Amino acid sequence: MTEYDVLRVFCGPDGNDGNALGVVRDGAAVPTERERQAFARRLGFSETVFVDDAERGVIDIYTPTLRLPFAGHPCVGTAWLLGLPALITPAGRVRARREGEWAWIEARAEWAPPRTLRQYGSAAEVDALPVPPPGEWIYAWAWQDEVAGGVRARAFPGRDDGIDEDEATGAAALLLTARLGRALTITQGRGSRIATAPRPGGLIEVGGRARPAGNAMPPR
């Protein structure tokens, strides 16, 4: 039986909501890409992380159907769980830090997978959106408080893999921050919270709360 942790990443201020993440601390227990993809599919989370070197922070990230070179909520969650100063992803070295129940990463916008960032006129319009048909990864957003940088967002991966709406999406938040060039506080999904800010050298900081989600069960 392969052991793994389950976290909720980008929890709201009350500690609820957040996006589920599976983390296999002993990546050698699931050694091949094919086995990892099958494991991630059985878990059914939007992403699952395999830790290949816990001292150096080398990680491998999978959705139920894809291997990703970089993703936001897996890096934030793993940074919180392992408490390392950096993570090594196929896209590059991700600086990280943990402060209590918060974790932060710094990454480049070009590392994030492509997303369609679609602006709406109000948070109510975003709230009212139906799930679109599969085919396009859409990040729907609107200003809640433009002066303060408050954003309302929802994410629709469009992969037809059982994840119709992503509760909290760090990579899309990174892309939106890069486009707007300013710090943001994003409320996504049911009530998840993502904080972002541009940093020197073309980096974007993305952070949020992370918490254990209870005892892990073996995949189906």
C-alpha closest to that of 149 among 170, 117, 127, 173:
173
* pLDDT of 219 above 90: no
d(CA 17, CA 20): 9
Largest CA distance in the chain: 51
Q: What percent of the chain has pLDDT over 90?
A: 93
CATH code linked to domain 116-201: 3.10.310.10
Phi, psi (degrees; rounded to nearest 5) at 99: -135, 95
* pLDDT of 197 above 70: yes
52 HSE (CA, 13 A, CB side): 12
All residues at 6 or more sequence positions from 28 whose CB lies less than 8 Å from its CB, including other chains: 52
Q: What is the 3-state secondary structure (H, E, C) of 90-127?
A: CCCEEEEEEECCEEEEEEEHHHCCCCEEEECCCHHHHH
Average pLDDT, the chain: 95
Predicted pLDDT at 1: 87
CATH code linked to domain 5-106+208-212: 3.10.310.10
DSSP labels, 166-182: BS--HHHHHHHHHHHTS
Q: What residues does each domain of the chain span?
A: 5-106+208-212, 116-201
Give the pLDDT mean for 125-154.
97
144 HSE (CA, 13 A, CB side): 15
Query: Is the fold of 5-106+208-212 the same as that of 116-201?
Result: yes
Provide the whole-model pTM. Answer: 0.94
Predicted pLDDT at 214: 66
Predicted pLDDT at 55: 96
216 HSE (CA, 13 A, CB side): 21
